[in-house]
Amino acid sequence: MATPLTNGIRLLSLFGTSLLPLFGHSYGPAAKLTAAPGDNPVACTACHAGTLNSGPGSVAILMRGGPVYIPGVKQRISVRVADPNQQRWGFELTARLKSSPESGQAGQLVPVDNFTQVICEDNTPTPCSSGVSFVQHTSAGTRNGTRGGATFQFDWFPPTTDVGPVTLYAAGNAANGNGTNAGDLIYTTSLELNSAIPAAPAVPAGNVISAATYTAGPVAANSWMTIYGTNLGVTTRAWDESDFINGGMPVALDGVSVLLNGSTAPRRATVGFVSPNQVNFLLPSDVNPATVQVQVRNPAGISAQVPITVQATAPQLLTVDGRAAVAFHANGTAVANATPATPGETISLYCTGCGATTPPLIPSQVPVQAAPVATLPTVTIAGAAAAVSSTTVVPASPGVYEVKVQVPASAANGDLPTIIQLGTFSSASVLVTVQK
């Protein structure tokens, strides 16, 4: 049995013999095997016998913000190799200027984990003295024994200026895992990216509002907020898994960030969604009551300051459609017209900006425990007090709290107005459907 150390020595000696013009192995193939212009047109089938793209599987290049690049703004690229019958995975991808597809390197490819590596066209590791480069699987990345498919992720730093369209070319190997080059299926694909050039963002006064109520008004720390404006982002997307690093929440998505000024030193807020005319952000959990100036920044500029009022308390209930509360029965089904709450039942409501917790939240980190709030809010349903048994942050859902509340035994049938209160602040009214 090989120990990790002897494996490492074996790898080193293999790299020592890698001066062959064309090599290809499970620990990483040679350069120029993507079927891009100037590369080997038969890609990995140069050794893995068979016809390109003849199996039931595929290789796909996935871009979260669509087939665009923003000059100078890092992007995450995923390559998925899939095949229903296979169980080991490899790939190679290159980024080329459409204006010079054989030799025009477009930006820099950078691994984010040990599943990929980058090599130069002369098969040496990066940095490359010249020529084009390739990102490809490592031995660990082949994930032998994983059935159906595997996804590779890496970052791409596009050119810092608009260089016109860029084409990504990829070859994928859906392998059978037998440790030889027989019985594997090779797929190829390409994706053309157009440049997306931001313009300076603008946010009119009054357009930084509560994401729960969609209206302006006082808000509290740890509240989700929405900004409406123009030229905010050039892509449309919410955050996804790959935007988080060690549980830290993103402070920019596709080059768009939100700056806060006035409560603490100038800082960037967590950004959860970007698009050309809407950005969602989370007010930090440690923001102090103050007038806070909000600005959107993108690579083309920064919007004028828009003030918001941050108070010590200003909870708001979350809704599904601006009216009906997000509410669940204890068994996890939603409270809705067809499945109403009953008088006396304890249901879960959800709020944002519901106050400090014990222990305190760590600003900009995804909450991992259901910490209770330091001060329980009160809730009324159709004007009657509804007993609140707990209010805790929802682990893995930043800015969201769960409020367990008992529907008053006296509640009548209907869609009943429901309000959450903390200190002297009463939330907007939302509706909970109750039926005896």
Q: How far apart are CA 261 and CA 268, in angstroms?
A: 9
Q: Which is nearer to ligand HEC, 30 or 282 (CB)?
A: 30
Q: Which is nearer to ligand HEC, 90 or 159 (CB)?
A: 90
Residue 178 interacting with ligand HEC (CB under 6 A): yes
* CA atoms lying within 13 Å on the CB side of residue 106: 29
Q: What residue is closest to ligand HEC based on CB?
A: 24
Q: Which is nearer to ligand HEC, 92 or 243 (CB)?
A: 92
Q: Which is nearer to ligand HEC, 33 or 70 (CB)?
A: 33
Q: How far is the CB of 76 from ligand HEC (least distance, A)?
A: 21
Q: How far is the CB of 276 from ligand HEC (least distance, A)?
A: 37
Q: How far is the CB of 153 from ligand HEC (least distance, A)?
A: 16
Residue 4's SS3 state is: helix
Q: Which is nearer to ligand HEC, 36 or 341 (CB)?
A: 36
Choose the stretch contacting ligand HEC; rule: CB under 6 A; options: 29-37, 292-300, 335-343, 389-397: 29-37
The CA-based diameter of the chain, rounded to the nearest angstrom, is 83
Q: How far apart are CA 239 and CA 226, in angstroms?
A: 15
Pairing of strands 108-111, 148-157: antiparallel
Residue 33 interacting with ligand HEC (CB under 6 A): yes
Q: Is the dihedral of CA 170, 174, 180, 181 positive or negative?
A: negative
Residue 179 interacting with ligand HEC (CB under 6 A): yes
Residue 18 interacting with ligand HEC (CB under 6 A): no
Q: How far apart are CA 166 and CA 204, in angstroms?
A: 35
Q: Report yes or no: 345 and 406 within 8 Å, Cβ to Cβ.
A: yes
Q: How far is the CB of 187 from ligand HEC (least distance, A)?
A: 10
Site for ligand HEC in 56-95 (CB under 6 A): 88, 90-92
Residue 181 interacting with ligand HEC (CB under 6 A): yes
Which H/E stretch holds residue 62? strand 58-63
Of 25, 197, 206, 238, the one binding ligand HEC by CB under 6 A: 25
Q: How far apart are CA 237 and CA 268, in angstroms?
A: 19
Provide the token pair at 239: 């955050």
Q: How far is the CB of 165 from ligand HEC (least distance, A)?
A: 24
Residue 403 interacting with ligand HEC (CB under 6 A): no
DSSP string, 169-190: EEEEEEE-SSSSSSS-EEEEEE
φ, ψ dihedrals at 14, nearest 5°: -65, -45
Q: How far is the CB of 122 from ligand HEC (least distance, A)?
A: 16
Tokens 């013999």, located at residue: 17
Instruction: Output the CA angle 311-294-201, nearest 5 degrees.
Output: 155
Choose the stretch contacting ligand HEC; rule: CB under 6 A; options: 17-25, 121-129, 373-381, 402-410: 17-25
Give the other-Cβ count within 10 Å of 431's Cβ.
18
Of 95, 175, 326, 381, the one binding ligand HEC by CB under 6 A: 175
In 3D space, the residue among 281, 354, 355, 325 whose CA is nearest the CA of residue 434 turns out to be 325
Query: What does the per-residue mask of binding to ligand HEC show for 135-174, with x meaning CB under 6 A?
Result: -------x----------------------------x-x-
Q: How far is the CB of 112 from ligand HEC (least distance, A)?
A: 19
Q: Which residues bind ligand HEC (CB under 6 A)?
A: 22-26, 29-30, 33, 43-44, 46-48, 88, 90-92, 142, 171, 173, 175-181, 184
